[in-house]
Amino acid sequence: MRMIDIIEKKRDGHALSKEEIFFLINEYVAQQIPDYQMSSFLMAVYFQGMTDEESSLLTEAILHSGETIDLSSIDGIKVDKHSTGGVGDKTTIVLGPLVASAGAKVAKLSGRGLGHTGGTLDKLESIPGLSINLSINDFIDQVNDIGIAVAGQTANLTPADKLLYALRDVTGTVQSIPLIASSIMSKKLASGSDVIVLDVKIGAGAFMKTLEDAEELSRVMVNIGQSFGKKVVAFITDMSQPLGFTVGNKLEIKEAIETLEGHGPEDLTTLVTEIGAYMIHSANIKPTLEESKAYMQEMIASKKAYQKQMEFIRAQGGTLDDLDDFISVKEIIEITAEEEGYVESINALEIGLAAMKLGAGRKTKEDEIDYDVGIVLNKKVGDKVAKDEVLAYVYNNLKSIDDILTQIYDAFILSKKPVEKQPLIYKIIT
């Protein structure tokens, strides 16, 4: 079998066989196929696409390029959630303990942030003492003991995906639905859970910009998961403005805890309640989605979800006794409105980039993060704003940030007329 024949076959729009797909992945990981040929193949996929069967086969090949995690020793149905990334997206930090408090088993491997999107691991590591470096045995034991563990991905999990993503990043082939779907689902399947809930973001601060693309990506990923015998559901959710009010590691941890205490922002609370309902319903904890949703609300109202959050933090070595002293910065700067009106939009991408420039995120994988800095929105889309009223607070440790302040101010677009709020959840694909 020759790589050139596979490239030409895909270039001409033909479907590849299982043998051809496994050959190109296995040989590439073994360094028998050069980057220039794999780049050519990725570009052919970018233009010609893949059938559902090809996408599933590609996922399978990437999945078996390295280790997989066996969670069979965990009692009960294991649930997992994946977000395609956004600004202020602290969903996992709220959702994990919430679902675990209801009796589901949350065994989650998460990633770090890069660019304008924050990473769950970075946010968790902003908690003093908390470690995300768990051995597989400790990971499994913790899930059995308290119902939840969150750790970093092992080096040997889906090595083909790491190689392919690095190549896609520099060859203009990131935006390919079959390649995105196989990348995400190979990692989720390798992580071993029985139920996978996907949170596919759309909007300015998201990877997918249109509802049509988000629907197609969701459909392909759900199809892949079901072909492997998993329960999979995809939520298509809004990321045209940041989720919640906070952007930045410690700020988001604080907001996540406040949400579990019952006084979090409306959009975040709604999202975790809806997604959590699907997770515990799929884990056979409650017979209907309505009962599952009510149970999620009960876990927050009773403080059981908050107590599970504290138990999880302690189990992974973290200490978080006083939220008032948790965040420390040199200054908090107010950004105020120059005129009255209604918030028409808040560009999530620009807010995310501004937070990164403050030090809350990374431009490159080698950058260090300042856990304390970030942005707290005081207004969301649809809110009325008076002249000189605060739009956002900037938590800062840098010397000169005039350009960042301007970027944040410009992210807010005001209208003279009242503005309708956009839906938070556009569609649910099962």
pLDDT in tens, 88-117: 999 999 999 999 999 999 999 887 665 566
User: In this structure, are residues 153 and 190 in contact, taking their beta carbons and an 8 Å threshold?
Assistant: no
| Residue 387 appears among annotated catalytic residues | no
Q: Of 89, 122, 161, 199, which is the active-site residue?
A: 161
Find residue 414's DSSP bridge partners: 343
User: In this structure, are residues 189 and 197 in contact, taking their beta carbons and an 8 Å threshold?
Assistant: no
| Residue 233 clears pLDDT 90, i.e. is over it | yes
| Residue 186 appears among annotated catalytic residues | no
Sequence ranges of the domains in the chain: 3-49, 78-315, 328-415
Which of 110-124, 250-264, 296-310, 319-333 is the least confident region?
A: 110-124
pLDDT in tens, 256-284: 999 999 999 999 999 999 999 999 999 99
Rounded mean pLDDT of 160-182? 90
Q: Of 55, 183, 218, 292, which is the active-site residue?
A: 183
CATH (residue range 328-415): 3.90.1170.30
pLDDT of residue 124: 95
pLDDT in tens, 376-419: 999 999 999 999 999 999 999 999 999 999 999 999 999 999 99
**Rg, C-alpha atoms of the chain:** 22
Whole-model pTM: value is 0.91
Residue 343 backbone phi and psi in degrees, to 5? -70, 115
User: In this structure, are residues 219 and 208 in contact, taking their beta carbons and an 8 Å threshold?
Assistant: no
- Can you tell me the distance from the alpha carbon of 208 to that of 215, in angstroms, rounded to the nearest whole number? 10
* DSSP H or E stretch at residue 374: strand 374-377
Which has more pLDDT, 113 or 364? Answer: 364
pLDDT of residue 87: 92
pLDDT of residue 13: 97
Same fold? 78-315, 328-415: no
User: In this structure, are residues 120 and 111 in contact, taking their beta carbons and an 8 Å threshold?
Assistant: yes
Rounded mean pLDDT of 165-185? 90
- Can you tell me the distance from the alpha carbon of 167 to that of 42, in angstroms, rounded to the nearest whole number? 9
Q: Which residue has the tokens 């970030």?
A: 374
| Residue 416 appears among annotated catalytic residues | no
Residue 383 backbone phi and psi in degrees, to 5? -75, 145
In the chain, % of residues over pLDDT 90: 84
Q: Which residue has the tokens 């440790």?
A: 397
| Residue 361 clears pLDDT 90, i.e. is over it | no
* DSSP H or E stretch at residue 3: helix 3-11
Q: Which DSSP symbol is given to 196?
A: E
Q: Which residues contact 176 (CB under 8 A, 6 or more apart)?
A: 42, 45, 46, 49, 168
> Residues, the chain, total?
430
* CATH architecture of structural domain 78-315: 3-Layer(aba) Sandwich (3.40)
| Residue 384 appears among annotated catalytic residues | no
Under the banding of pLDDT at 50, 70 and 90, the label for residue 175 is confident
| Residue 83 appears among annotated catalytic residues | no
pLDDT of residue 115: 57
Q: Of 10, 162, 187, 201, which is the active-site residue?
A: 187
Q: Of 10, 78, 81, 82, which is the active-site residue?
A: 82
What is the fold of 3-49?
1.20.970
Q: Of 81, 90, 123, 168, which is the active-site residue?
A: 168
pLDDT of residue 114: 56
Strands 341-346 and 384-385: antiparallel
Which of 102-106, 291-295, 420-424 is the least confident region?
A: 420-424
Contacts 24+ apart (CB under 8 A), 3-7: 3/27, 3/33, 3/37, 3/41, 4/37, 6/41, 7/37, 7/40, 7/41, 7/44
Rounded mean pLDDT of 6-13? 97
Rounded mean pLDDT of 51-66? 96
| Residue 44 clears pLDDT 70, i.e. is over it | yes
Q: Which DSSP symbol is given to 356?
A: I
Mean pLDDT estimate for the chain: 94
- Can you tell me the distance from the alpha carbon of 149 to that of 312, in angstroms, rounded to the nearest whole number? 7
Rounded mean pLDDT of 219-238? 96
- Can you tell me the distance from the alpha carbon of 140 to that of 149, in angstroms, rounded to the nearest whole number? 8
Which of 58-62, 111-115, 274-278, 426-430 is the least confident region?
A: 111-115
- Can you tell me the distance from the alpha carbon of 257 to that of 263, in angstroms, rounded to the nearest whole number? 9
| Residue 338 clears pLDDT 90, i.e. is over it | yes
